[in-house]
Amino acid sequence: MALKLYEIDSPTLLLERSYPNTCFSVDTGIYESKTSLDKSFGRGFYKEIFFDGVHIGYGHVHLFERMRFRFESDFETVEMHFALKGSSQASGEMMPPAVNFETYQHNIIYGNSMCGQMEWGNQEFQLCEINLSPEFFKKFLPVDSKFFADFRNAIDRGKSGLLTNVHRRITHEMYEIINGIINCQRKGVFKKIYLEAKIMELLLLQLEQFQEDDGVAVSLKKADIDKIYAVREYLLQNMEANNTLVSLAHSVGTNEFTLKKGFKELFGTTVFGFWHDAKMEHAKKLILHEEKTIGEVSDLVGYKNQRHFSDAFKRKFGIPPSKLKNTV
């Protein structure tokens, strides 16, 4: 089982990855790898985890120029694809004419020994892809839905393609699960159990959204959606900042009403409800994995009063931060 990348107009091989059969068959091991990129055209990394018929890939790259290349794969897979940042375009002999992903979009892709071309823009690019064996994936498809039956039939015929031609938006719940998968610090069998559970939860959210959503866009314009995602990104990168709804709206060129309504529509929560949860999750990670003191963590997530932070943490998780390590 291998994936090969070539220069777009030459036979020069840029990358070849050989995956063990454990990627797409049942086994008891768990394997991890990280590929770093430090070239004139871009810098970043691609992390991989594979076990029991599952392959998880997470990439974060800053590209300094537009990249185009050819790809070949000789295996069959179902991919849960999440475009977290940046845009991409893929085309191939066994695929629809072109598959374009933009920031915050997701879909499910079936691929069977595919070859084609891939293009990434000059930008920051971030994605998460989870590959499952087709037989494993089909067990979770509803049997009483024509929408899913068409995709099942395509898999049975070995015909590569998308579950649907209309991508869906990555929800707040999905982002939280993806973040948990990417940053999982557990080891051995406990990591495997955690990842399996989170992947199933993520697949559930995808399938539910595909079944319930008719594909019609939200009431917001694309420009407004981009601005709201920019606010979300700013909040995650500035945990300690002191912001108001008005200042956040103005920072991305929108108004308070659009930000408030649109954030709720896109993520199912309020701006500050999202920010509070993000702060608490970040604080939990700092305490467990970075050996920070409670006072240091309180400062890093924007609390001037350590007691107020401890109270907020307890409301969120049911225990004070000082007791967190005792529960792990």
In a domain, 168, yes or no: yes
Give the residue, 97 or 299, on which the prediction is more confident: 299
Specify the DSSP class assigned to residue 218.
P
Lookup result for tokens 């604080």: 283
How many other CB atoms sit within 10 Å of the CB of residue 65? 10
Average pLDDT over residues 27-53: 83
Average pLDDT over residues 87-110: 81
Average pLDDT over residues 12-19: 67
User: Can you give the pLDDT at residue 26?
Assistant: 42
Domain boundary among 212, 231, 246: 212
What is the per-residue pLDDT across 197-217, written as a single tens digit (0 to 9) for each? 999 999 999 999 998 764 444
**Taking a C-beta distance cutoff of 8 angstroms, is the pair 17, 41 a contact?**
no
> Taking 80 as the threshold, does the pLDDT of residue 13 lie above it?
no
Statement to judge: residues 280 and 134 lie in one domain: no
In a domain, 217, yes or no: no
Q: Which two tokens stand for residue 16?
A: 């070849």
Q: The domain that contains 74 carries what CATH number?
A: 2.60.120.10
Average pLDDT over residues 276-289: 88
What is the per-residue pLDDT across 113-158, written as a single tens digit (0 to 9) for each? 777 788 887 778 899 999 999 988 988 888 878 888 989 999 999 8
Q: Which of 76-80, 265-269, 313-317 has the lowest mean pLDDT?
A: 265-269
Residues whose CB is less than 8 angstroms from the CB of residue 175 and which lie 6 or more positions away in sequence, other chains included? none
User: Can you give the pLDDT at residue 216?
Assistant: 45
Q: How confident is the model at residue 14 (pLDDT cuts 50, 70, 90)?
A: low
Q: The domain that contains 290 carries what CATH number?
A: 1.10.10.60
Statement to judge: residues 227 and 189 lie in one domain: no
User: Can you give the pLDDT at residue 15?
Assistant: 63
**Taking a C-beta distance cutoff of 8 angstroms, is the pair 271, 260 a contact?**
yes
Alpha carbon distance 26, 117 (integer Å): 31
Q: How confident is the model at residue 21 (pLDDT cuts 50, 70, 90)?
A: low
> Taking 70 as the threshold, does the pLDDT of residue 72 lie above it?
yes
In a domain, 195, yes or no: yes
Residues whose CB is less than 8 angstroms from the CB of residue 179 and which lie 6 or more positions away in sequence, other chains included? 281
Q: How confident is the model at residue 272 (pLDDT cuts 50, 70, 90)?
A: very high
Statement to judge: residues 57 and 158 lie in one domain: yes
Give the residue, 223 or 94, on which the prediction is more confident: 223
User: Can you give the pLDDT at residue 2?
Assistant: 65
When the pLDDT of each residue in the chain is averaged and rounded to a whole number, the result is 85
Lookup result for tokens 């659009």: 258
> Taking 60 as the threshold, does the pLDDT of residue 27 lie above it?
no
Statement to judge: residues 66 and 134 lie in one domain: yes
Total domains present in the chain: 2
Phi, psi angles (nearest 5°) of residue 113: 50, 60
Which domain covers residue 125, as residue numbers?
Answer: 2-212
Statement to judge: residues 139 and 261 lie in one domain: no
Statement to judge: residues 123 and 180 lie in one domain: yes
User: Can you give the pLDDT at residue 87?
Assistant: 85
Alpha carbon distance 258, 3 (integer Å): 44
User: Can you give the pLDDT at residue 155?
Assistant: 92
